[in-house]
Amino acid sequence: MPHIGTERTGAVLQIAVNRPEKKNALTAEMYTALSEAVERGEADSEIRVLVLHGKGDAFTAGNDLEDFMQRPWKGQALPPAVRFIRAVALAKKPIIAAVQGLAVGVGTTILLHCDLVYAAADARFMMPFINLGIVPEAASTVLLPLLVGPQRASEIFLLSAPLPAQRAYEMGLVNAVVEREAVLPSALAAAHQIAEKPRGAVLACKDLMKRAFRSEVERALREEVEVISERLESPETREALSAFLEKRKPDFSRF
């Protein structure tokens, strides 16, 4: 069974992460499949809205770290994860996310590029980039401070503590918190409602809203990748990833 599935209903394309046994952790192949699905949705004139969601009890646990360690970014012209992030960040059509359970790393940063986000009451948002010796991605170093303020962004990034669904709603990261069984139906209902509106006006409205920060977002997308690529070669990141695989607490005191 493929780990990335798509389903079309009218003018709405659902893109599902389907690896529930691994909390929908993302491998390079899954990132490529996600990118292709988003790109196909963008290119298909009959698709008006895209919906991202995860199967099982998680949205995504972020990168599959074992896979991640085997595929260093350095030397790759466009790492698969970056291709996916750019596909969503630069999408012209509305993208809606339905989030339940864990949303770790890219599972949270990608939401900053979605036009609407519906969260289940059990959703937990985490951005543990610093814990891994790297920096946040997906232009989140620009978009999160704009959304929640610099102090709260520092709290989320530097402490890496889980953000419960209700607090994410209060901060403006999600549009609504609903029961688990209602999260995907809520996202789909909004998607179909938007799909019935004038296409040109919808696209123009999204473009205008994104335009003010577009150059800054594209700068951050580029520079974050450069820093992450360097940090992935650092002793701190090697220690963090080794500790994860060895199921022990990392020791950064010697760096």
Least confident of 33-37, 66-70, 223-227: 66-70
Q: Any residues with CB less than 8 A from the CB of 145 and at least 6 apart, and which?
A: 153
**Confidence category of residue 1, pLDDT binned at 50, 70, 90:** low
Please state, rounded to an integer, the average pLDDT across all residues of the chain.
95
First to last CA, the chain: 43
Domain range enclosing 76? 4-180
**For residue range 198-244, what is the model confidence (pLDDT) as tens digits?**
999 999 999 999 998 999 999 999 999 999 999 988 999 999 988 98
173 and 99 Cβ atoms separated by less than 8 Å? no
Neighbouring C-beta atoms of residue 124, cutoff 10 Å = 21
**Residue at 77 is within a domain:** yes
pTM: 0.95
**Residue at 67 is within a domain:** yes
Task: For residue 12, give the CATH number of its domain.
Answer: 3.90.226.10
| Rounded CA separation 16/62 (Å) | 14
Identify the residue with better confidence: 66 or 62.
62
**Residue at 214 is within a domain:** no
**For residue range 99-153, what is the model confidence (pLDDT) as tens digits?**
999 999 999 999 999 999 999 999 999 999 999 999 999 999 999 999 999 999 9
63 and 81 Cβ atoms separated by less than 8 Å? yes
**Residue at 40 is within a domain:** yes
**Residue at 150 is within a domain:** yes
Least confident of 65-69, 111-115, 126-130, 169-173: 65-69
| Rounded CA separation 169/179 (Å) | 14
- Domain count across the chain: 1
**Residue at 35 is within a domain:** yes
Q: What is the DSSP letter of 122?
A: T
